[in-house]
Structure 1
Amino acid sequence: MSSSVERALHVLVELADGPITISEVARRLEVHRTTSLRLLRTLEDEHFVRRTADGRYRIGPRMVTLAHAALEGLDVRSAAGSHLRELGAACGHTVHLAGLEGGQVMYLDKVESRHAVRMYSRIGALAPLHATGVGKAILAAMSKQERSSLLGAEPFGRYTSNTRTTHAALESDLVQAAALGWVLDDYEHEEFIHCIAAPVRDASGGVTAAVSISAPGFVLDRPGLLSLVDDLTTTATRISEELGWDSP
């Protein structure tokens, strides 16, 4: 890489922290002031940086456009793939990635369990928001009004005796999920399957998907499932960071 290109990239990295002066650029790059001025003017001509009224420089509109294009081009399934496989290898149980599709969730990716008993879920299949861990993880990030609009009139469809079929019953789960950062599916979609799920965030902080660990109760009991919460939330955070989210 040529020294000029390398320096220009360093300038943009420095500007990411906020507006700076020509002299500050020179000091941080360890170059003469005239060199930093030349770099900044070249970047300004191409609209990568903009000079402010007080003489400092900041990120310009072309850089903002490129950043948005890069973030929009990120595919959650591609960003999540390696992290899902690592989680599956570590826990040995079924791992799902799901996203919102209309008023339901769609399974975007799946890592199969190492155990003989397999879940019938498949990539591309739709599932109910109110009765799945991934669905509840996505709902928990929404306002009550958004949730109500998506879920529609109650009672919601019942899949097991544990399915939450009213707004009130579901709301207590979602409030807790928002506070904890993860949610439990307590045999609410399938009689013998329970799961934990956590939200995946994009660069804006919005929840765009969710990741889960699922297992039959006779293979993994409640304490065993809950012992995987830290692994799950760490994976969700890593995927979110791949999508541009700046975790606290």
Structure 2
Amino acid sequence: MSQSVERALLILPALARGPAGLGEVAAALDVHKSTALRLLRTLHAHGYVYRQPDGRYRLGARLFALAAEAVEGLDVREIAHPHLVALNAATGHTVHLAVHQDDEVLYIDKVESRYPVRMYSRIGKPVPLTVAAVAKLLLADLPEAERRALAARIDYPRHTARSTPDAEAFLRELALVREQGWASDLGGHEEFINCVGAPVRGPDGRVVAALSVSAPNVVVTAAELLDLLPLVRRTADAVGQDYSGTPSGTPAPTGTQEHA
């Protein structure tokens, strides 16, 4: 990598912590002030940094505009699909990808099981909010006020004896999902179907999608399906890394902090 390019790139995370003067930038890069000034002037000319009236520099509007354009251009389904196919090949079970839109959680991709017994689910179909693993993962990431408001206004159908009975139990389940970083549906929607899922996180650590592996208990027991959790979580992490542009092996934000 060009030394000048590398130094210019190092300026951006330095300024992300807040405005800084020329001396502070030079110290952060371990270069002479004249070198730092040359780099800052180049970035300023292209709108990536901005020189404030007090002489300090901060990140520029052009950088934020590029970031917004990049996020809007991302298609999590397209990015995730090869990973879903690989997870399906490794397990043989049905794999789903879902996103949260308004008060619904929708399947946006599905790879069918290799077994004759198939799940009745389809792309574009809303999932049961109070029992589905993917729904719990997506809703658990909402700010607390939004979680509570949602829990108060939705219905709690008793699909099976294991379905979530009420808002209080639902909020407890979402709190558990936030803490452990994964979710399951063990006969909560259909008595004979079990499911385990993990969140796909974006560059800011927020959950942008959720993926899951589902199977009927005539094919695999709930305990055996839960044994696949490490693989499911690794797959979700890999999708998140591709979505965020994070190099393999680089830890991504966990998003475990409570959102206001």
TM over 0.5: yes
Equivalent residues in 2 for 1:38-187, closer than 5 Å? 38-51=38-51, 58-153=58-153, 156-187=156-187
CA distance in 1, matches of 2:142, 2:35: 49
Stretches of structure 1 lacking an aligned partner (at least 5 in a row) = none
Q: Is the 8 A contact 1:22 1:56 kept in 2?
A: no
Displacement, 1:37?
Answer: 4.5
In structure 2, the partner of 1:239 is 239
Displacement, 1:48?
Answer: 1.7
Cα 1:12/1:157, change in 2 over 3 Å: farther
Q: Percent identity?
A: 40
Cα 1:24/1:150, change in 2 over 3 Å: closer
Displacement, 1:25?
Answer: 5.3
Q: Give the SS at the match of 2:108.
A: strand
The C-alpha deviation readout for 1:105-157, integer Å capped at 9, x for no partner, is: 11011111121211121111112211211111112223453234334446512
Displacement, 1:160?
Answer: 2.0
User: When the two structures are aligned, how many residues end up with a matched partner?
Assistant: 240
The C-alpha deviation readout for 1:163-185, integer Å capped at 9, x for no partner, is: 11311222332222111101110
CA distance in 2, matches of 1:240, 1:72: 16
CA distance in 2, matches of 1:223, 1:95: 18
TM-score, scaled relative to structure 1: 0.83
Q: Is the 8 A contact 1:194 1:217 kept in 2?
A: yes
Q: Is the 8 A contact 1:155 1:165 kept in 2?
A: no
Q: Is the 8 A contact 1:140 1:177 kept in 2?
A: yes
CA distance in 2, matches of 1:128, 1:188: 10
Displacement, 1:26?
Answer: 8.1
1:21 matches 2:25:
yes
